[in-house]
Amino acid sequence: KPLVFSGVQPTGNLHLGNYLGAIRKFVALQENNDCIYCVVDLHAITAQLVHDDLRGQIRSIAAAFIASGIDPKKHIVFNQSAVPQHAELAWIFNCVARIGWMNRMTQFKDKAGKDRENASLGLLAYPSLMAADILVYRATHVPVGDDQKQHLELARDIAQKFNIDFQDKIRATGTGVDMVVGEEPIHGYFPLVEPLIDGPAPRVMSLRDGTKKMSKSDPSDLSRINLMDDADEILKKIRKAKTDPEGLPSELEGLEGRPEAANLVGIYAALADRTKADVLAEFGGQQFSVFKPALADLAVQVLAPISLEMRRLLDDTTHIDAILRDGGERARARAEKVMGEVFDIVGFLR
């Protein structure tokens, strides 16, 4: 049975990329799956150790989940540090994964910058904790934006190596399952996770530069639409969004080599739950002076109720805190069971 897991870091304001690349997909997946959605606070201290208001940030991501439509009763919403098994499994994965694998991660290279020797060890081991987040529930499907693809490939490599290295122990403890990897039938403990990256906006780009990803860390606030922006700010940012002088094409091929136009069409399609082709069938031949106001209206229509509900939820933190506590307890019960089996496989006494 599929089990969905994903996480969002409580660092800085959520933006349209986080919403379209991840949270909106979390909401849709609830319908037919068992889902676990996590505020990854342990990850938040890898790049920057000390935060002004980490608790507030954690609550605000949880509020964004709930305000967007995630049901914390049917599914699980919690913060990572509430379940110590994440860190415990990450340690074992640190011993499974190779340093070379970590050194190849493009996100590590970007975040560590030139002075790599001076990056935290946690930043290097980040993908190992991420693999543990997913696999401590033996989750199978992970909705994320395109930028997390390489990390999920690494999670598969870690699961694969664990399954192979401990093959005999997995059989001896009777904890494994028969699975098919590619064409190859194996008996493994951890599933090889499937990334869910599809949709019209797997990589939302900056509104100021269609070749750069929309990001929390871009110094220009005009480059992104924040989930908490009000209608005026959204209108202004879309009006000022960079475009080329041509109008919109009628066919998808017409977006090639036009990153800014492609980005805005992708955003429209994702917000409207339509395909890009469908959006172009409607707006093909129109100028941006027509398309931009339509896009801004749609963005406000989708985002305004979310930010309103977020503000309401954050007004009094008791409700959010209760949701996180309850989710943490339910997540911990599941993780404890898996960690018990992992202890048996590895051969720790318990």
- Cβ–Cβ under 8 Å, residues 58 and 65: no
Give the residue with the Cβ less far from ligand TYM, 61 or 296.
61
Phi first, then psi: give them for residue 188, nearest 5 degrees.
-130, 170
Q: Check binding of 147 to ligand TYM (CB under 6 A).
A: yes
Give the residue with the Cβ less far from ligand TYM, 77 or 142.
142
- Cβ–Cβ under 8 Å, residues 90 and 49: no
Rule CB under 6 A: choose which of 58, 76, 214, 279 binds ligand TYM.
Answer: 214
Binding segment (CB under 6 A) for ligand TYM, from list 50-58, 92-100, 146-154, 297-305: 146-154
Q: Check binding of 134 to ligand TYM (CB under 6 A).
A: yes
Residue with tokens 């069971």: 337
Give the residue with the Cβ less far from ligand TYM, 113 or 174.
113
Q: Check binding of 18 to ligand TYM (CB under 6 A).
A: yes
Give the residue with the Cβ less far from ligand TYM, 110 or 251.
110
Measure the CA–CA gap between 264 and 287, rounded to whole angstroms. 13
Binding segment (CB under 6 A) for ligand TYM, from list 15-23, 93-101, 258-266, 268-276: 15-23
Q: Check binding of 135 to ligand TYM (CB under 6 A).
A: no
Give the residue with the Cβ less far from ligand TYM, 145 or 249.
145
74 is a catalytic site residue: no
Identity at 124, one-letter amino acid code? L
- Cβ–Cβ under 8 Å, residues 302 and 268: no
Phi first, then psi: give them for residue 195, nearest 5 degrees.
-70, 140
State both tokens at 190. 């951890």
Give the residue with the Cβ less far from ligand TYM, 133 or 229.
133
216 is a catalytic site residue: yes
Catalytic residue among 149, 161, 169, 216: 216
Considering only residues 249 to 288 of the shown chain, the ones binding ligand TYM according to CB under 6 A are none
Buried-state track 16-42, b at ≥16 Cβ within 10 A, e below 16? bbbbbbbbbbbbebbeebbbbbbbbbb
Measure the CA–CA gap between 310 and 228, rounded to whole angstroms. 8
- Cβ–Cβ under 8 Å, residues 68 and 23: yes
Q: Which 3 state secondary structure label does DSSP give 7?
A: strand
Q: How far is the CB of 237 from ligand TYM (least distance, A)?
A: 15
Give the residue with the Cβ less far from ligand TYM, 18 or 85.
18
Which residue from 2, 296, 15, 331 is spatially nearest to 147, judged by alpha carbons? Answer: 15
Binding segment (CB under 6 A) for ligand TYM, from list 13-21, 114-122, 225-233, 280-288: 13-21
Binding segment (CB under 6 A) for ligand TYM, from list 1-9, 91-99, 111-119, 158-166: 1-9
Per-residue mark of binding to ligand TYM, 43-82 (x: CB under 6 A): x---------------------------------------
CB-based burial label for 108 (10 Å; 0-12, 13-18, 19+): buried
109 is a catalytic site residue: no
The set of residues, in sequence order, having a beta carbon less than 8 Å from that of 332 and lying 6+ positions away, is: 82, 83, 84, 85
Pairing of strands 34-39, 141-143: unpaired
Considering only residues 188 to 207 of the shown chain, the ones binding ligand TYM according to CB under 6 A are 203-204
Can you give the binding site for ligand TYM, defined by CB under 6 A? 5-9, 17-18, 21-22, 40, 43, 130, 133-134, 142, 144-145, 147-148, 151, 203-204, 213-214
Q: Which residues are catalytic?
A: 111, 213, 216
